[in-house]
């Protein structure tokens, strides 16, 4: 498949979004497209709960710079840096758990494609602020809620937010960073993961003793459900940890189990429903963004340095990623005049193009082109 030609088609969409979202602005586009297939500009800032989605555009710009070497992309990232720095210093009392998403694609990506020392400094500061959300007794990063919340609560999404801490460990060698992300992942595997390798969305611990209390749900269908994008966050986060540590004994058995669980759910059409345990009217709502995340994660694993061999129904993760990509590209690409790249992302209760689905599709395409000879923003 001509992946480079697909990137050429995608390029004008990203440039249009760049023009609509000045890098120095505090306000950024909405996370999903409207009925006109436009990401409405001036919608969110990083102070809002949905402001974490800002950096998916910046991450795409960084990948385009790596691919095309056009200085306008680097200039865009450079002009965005002061906004990220200002946000860090204005929110020192309570930095968001989504700092990992925000700064991994916002400043670590800029550093990795440019070598900017300023971006490196801001990224390390973000990692240190993120660590303030570590609840020592529970051994987790505090997800929803403030750092002074009376509840210690984790969400599976934070398997991806750990990337900023993994990057800081790989950049500095400071073993406390490693302690934090490995402690968090251990608790996720122990309490959030089920015996079939599916993951709960959220879990609550006692703040004083760290004693596990029980499951919570925010993004899935219900307690006991299996929100598909959450499964992909867990898979990708474990693959990131494997890349950051090369500890196949600790991470590979779980990654193997996750991939085979996911394959059992998507093998008929390769695009997941938004929740694998959903019942009722919305049972068949798909999530192409979850598919794109899974494809990119599988390619990272397959092309990675660890040369991991899987067992069970899925032995070739690259082939599975290719199958997913083939369906996405053949059936779910938006029209050339739309802002979004993919159709069919799960955005709450509606299906639409979304910024994270678009980003991970670009990342997966770049991995097909460059394999592991490209910057890895996620540790």
Q: Collect all residues with Cβ–Cβ distance below 8 Å to 318 and sequence separation of at least 6.
A: 298, 299, 302, 303
Question: φ and ψ at 74, to 5 degrees?
Answer: -65, -40
Q: Which residues pair with 212 in a beta bridge?
A: 205
Which of these is catalytic: 98, 275, 322, 358?
Answer: 98
157 among the known binding-site residues? yes
CB 285 within 8 A of CB 273: yes
Active-site residue flag, 98: yes
229 among the known binding-site residues? yes
Active-site residue flag, 247: no
Q: Collect all residues with Cβ–Cβ distance below 8 Å to 112 and sequence separation of at least 6.
A: 62, 375, 376, 377
Which of these is catalytic: 94, 157, 284, 305?
Answer: 157
Burial 291-315 (b: 16+ CB within 10 A, else e): bbbbbbbbbbbbbbeeebebeeebe
Q: Which of 73, 72, 71, 44 is nearest to 60 (CA)?
A: 73
Catalytic residues: 98, 157
Q: Which residues are annotated as a binding site for substrate?
A: 98, 157, 229, 233
């Amino acid at each position: 498949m001509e992946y480079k030609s697909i990137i050429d088609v995608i390029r004008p969409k990203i440039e249009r979004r760049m023009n609509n979202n000045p890098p120095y602005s505090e306000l950024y586009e909405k996370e999903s497209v409207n009925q006109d297939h436009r990401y409405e500009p001036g919608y969110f800032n990083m102070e809002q709960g949905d402001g974490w989605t800002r950096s998916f555009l910046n991450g795409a710009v960084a990948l385009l710079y790596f691919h095309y070497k056009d200085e306008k992309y680097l200039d865009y990232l450079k002009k965005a840096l002061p906004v990220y720095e200002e946000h860090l210093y204005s929110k020192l009392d309570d930095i968001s758990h989504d700092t990992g998403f925000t700064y991994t694609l916002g400043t670590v990506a800029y550093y990795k494609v440019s070598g900017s020392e300023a971006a490196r400094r801001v990224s390390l500061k973000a990692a240190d602020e993120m660590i303030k959300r570590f609840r020592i007794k529970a051994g987790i990063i505090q997800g929803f809620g403030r750092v002074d919340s009376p509840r210690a609560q984790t969400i599976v999404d934070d398997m991806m937010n750990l990337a900023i801490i993994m990057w800081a460990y790989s950049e500095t060698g400071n073993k406390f960073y490693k302690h934090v992300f490995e402690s968090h992942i251990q608790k996720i595997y122990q309490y959030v993961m089920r015996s079939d390798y599916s993951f709960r969305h959220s879990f609550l611990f006692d703040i004083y003793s760290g004693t596990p209390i029980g499951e919570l749900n925010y993004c899935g269908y219900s307690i006991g459900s299996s929100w598909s994008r959450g499964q992909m966050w867990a898979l990708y986060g474990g693959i990131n940890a494997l890349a950051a540590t090369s500890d196949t004994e600790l991470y590979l058995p779980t990654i193997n189990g996750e991939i085979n669980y996911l394959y059992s759910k998507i093998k008929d059409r390769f695009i997941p429903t938004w929740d694998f345990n959903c019942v009722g009217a919305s049972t068949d709502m798909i999530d192409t963004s979850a598919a794109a995340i899974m494809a990119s994660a599988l390619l990272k694993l397959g092309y990675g340095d660890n040369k991991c061999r899987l067992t069970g129904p899925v032995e070739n993760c690259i082939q599975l990623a290719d199958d997913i990509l083939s369906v996405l590209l053949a059936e779910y690409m938006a029209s050339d005049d739309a802002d979004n790249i993919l159709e069919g992302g799960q955005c709450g209760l509606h299906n639409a193009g979304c910024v994270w689905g678009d980003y991970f599709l670009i990342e997966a395409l770049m991995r097909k082109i460059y394999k592991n000879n490209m910057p890895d923003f996620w540790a």
